[in-house]
Every structure is written in structure tokens, then in C-alpha cells.
Structure 1
Amino acid sequence: MTQSSENAPLNPAEGTDLAALDQGVYTQLRTARHDARLELDGTWHQISPRYAVSQLLQNGIVLAIVVVAALVLGFGLEQHWVWIPAGVIIVLTVATMVILPRQARAIGYMLRADDIVFRKGILWQRMIAVPYGRMQLVDITQGPVDRGFGISQLKMVTAAATTGVQIPGLTQAAAEALRDTLIGVAETRRTGL
């Protein structure tokens, strides 16, 4: 299969090891089964399964705080109105926890010749292509729970606020390799405004 230069895979910057992008990640990208789904030709890289565990733990902490607060207010201070908002928050948090593993498997990114494409979602699909030459900032962040699981979030900022992309759940090695690659390629493709 011949790929055009637009869809050709990225040639990594010298000294950058892109093999780290596929270590410790999900093995198959979950996509919608419908024929009208959004598709691109190329190699999708995925995030670490530890992302789902980290998010489940964080949602569990929120759930525990809401339950304790509702019990204290409901029984201790006899504020019975608290059961309605607490119930809504609990139902929404549990629903989020149920679908979170499926959502995590639908997150992926593809390095192409001129841009990086980020995708997420099954029911509501979203694909964002960020041209390398338009990147202004590549940032790696870790929260305390994510740091405990050894995962990071990589954020790419462009001049247009709608094209900023955050890739959650990357292993530390993948985040660093991706950052170095993006910075190296962006420097060679810098475009004027």
C-alpha cells in the first residue's frame, strides 16, 4: 500500500526512540463498528491501561468523599436535602466508572508526516489534527495519583485554542519520547504567522 506524503508515517528525529510509544499500552484501539465511523490510514498508538486504573481510583476517592459528606450531613446534622445532590453525584460517578475502561481503549494518536492526529470516543468520535509547525508548547504533567501509576499527560498548545490537544495516560517513557519527537519535528517545520 502506497501512502501519500500527507499520510506517511513520521520519520523520528535523530536519537529519538519511538519504540517507547508502544510499550505497556493497550493492544487494540477500540473503534465504532458503524460503517460511517471516522477512519485514517496509519499506525495508531495507544495509552497505558494504568490510565483507567488511575481514573477509577480518583473517581473512587470522589465517591467516598461524597458518601461520607452525605452521611455526616444527612444523619449527623439532619439535613435530609443532601440525599438528592449526593444521589445524583453518586449515580453519575458510578456511570463514569463503568464506561471509563471502554473510553480509555478508544484514545489514540497517530504521527503523520505533517501533523499528529489525536482521537477519542466511540459514540461521540473526535479527531484533532495538529500541524507540527503550529505547535507553540509541548508540556508533560502528572498529578499525584498518576505519578503513583507512572503515567503522564502530554499537552500540545497551538495559537488556536480549539486545536490544543491533551493525550492522557502515556507512560513516562512514551511521554518523553513523544515530547522530544514533537519538539524536534516542530523546529524543522516552523511556519510564520
Structure 2
Amino acid sequence: MDSLFAPPGQRWQTVSPQLRALRRLILSVVLGVVGPLSAVLAGVLVAWWLAVVVLAVAVVVFAWGWWLIDRNWRSWGYAERGDDLLVTHGVLFRRLVVVPYGRMQFVDVTAGPLERRFGIAKVQLHTATPATEADIPGLTAAEAAGLRDRLAALGEARAAGL
């Protein structure tokens, strides 16, 4: 069944471990602020035992999120073939997107402040179909620039024949 979402014989590229590190940092900051603050408010406004319950829930959610981030990070991959680009991701709901080079209209590279700090960017492919969700997060800046240039050149070459 896995070959349905990751065809064998392809040279699959993975995303940078910095994506996992960034997402874990965000999880730590959010739960590190929201968890204790909620526990203090629950303890002051309701009862001390509720503060303990809220803090325990925050710890469980943190551990679960830490584990899920790793699984999600490992699920991302892409492969460049002769006529198209394959992008796969997802843990519970797997997804494989096949984008023919001739259908690409433009390639978008984005990086927010935290992504730039971690040295990663997201490459997003735009086609005539708005339903095409072909984006690859967590690429190193050099990898994103190289992929952007290769895809743009291949898209131009394939679209010229239409």
C-alpha cells in the first residue's frame, strides 16, 4: 500500500530536520506559556486540583505533539521525474500529488522570519487548477533555490510545446 503514495524506483528527497526543530520550538513556546498560565488561572479562579489537571493535560499534549511532529516530518518527500514532480506527505491521511511540469504556471518560494532563522523555505507550485496543493515545506535555502530554478526551466520547456 505504501507504493501507492511513494512509487518505488524514485529518488525521494526528504525535507530538512530544521522543519522538525522549528515546529517543536513553536510547540514548546505555545505550551510553555499557555499551559502554566492556564494552570495558574485555574488554581486562582477555581481550585488547586484543577490547576494540577490543567498542567497534566498540557504535559500530555506536549509529549503527543512532540511525537506527532516527528512522524509528520518523516512523511514529507518529493521526487523529480522526467515529466513531473511527485510530492508525498501525511501520516493518517497519506497524499501523493503529481504535478506535470507542463502544467506549472509559476513556482513560489516563501520563508517567514522564523523559517529564515532556521535556514529553511517553502516551495509552492501553482498550476491552472486551484485545487493543486503542491507545496514542499522545510527545504534548505540552497535546495529551495535549486528546485525553483529547475522547476521553472522544466515548466517553460514543457509549456512551450502546448
**TM-score category, normalised to shorter length:** 0.7 to 0.9
The answer as to 2:83 corresponding to 1:125 is no
Alpha carbons 1:67, 1:86 under 8 Å: kept: yes
Task: Give the superposed CA RMSD.
Answer: 2.8
2:34 — aligned with what?
Answer: 66
Identity, % of aligned positions: 36
Alpha carbons 1:70, 1:83 under 8 Å: kept: no
Q: Matches of 1:155 and 1:54 in 2, distance apart?
A: 19
Name stretches of at least 5 consecutive residues in structure 2 with no aligned partner. none
Higher relative contact order (CA 8 A, sep 6+): 1
**Aligned residues between the structures:** 157
TM-score (norm 1): 0.69
Question: 83, 87, 94: which one pairs with 1:114?
Answer: 83
Alpha carbons 1:66, 1:90 under 8 Å: kept: no
1:53 — aligned with what?
Answer: 21
2:157 — aligned with what?
Answer: 188
Name stretches of at least 5 consecutive residues in structure 1 with no aligned partner. 1-35
Q: Which amino acid aligns with 1:54?
A: L
Q: Which amino acid aligns with 1:69?
A: L
Q: Matches of 1:139 and 1:90 in 2, distance apart?
A: 37
**Runs of 4+ more than 6 Å apart:** 80-90
- Cα distance change of structure 1 residues 110 and 66 upon mapping to structure 2, 3 Å threshold: same
Alpha carbons 1:158, 1:164 under 8 Å: kept: no
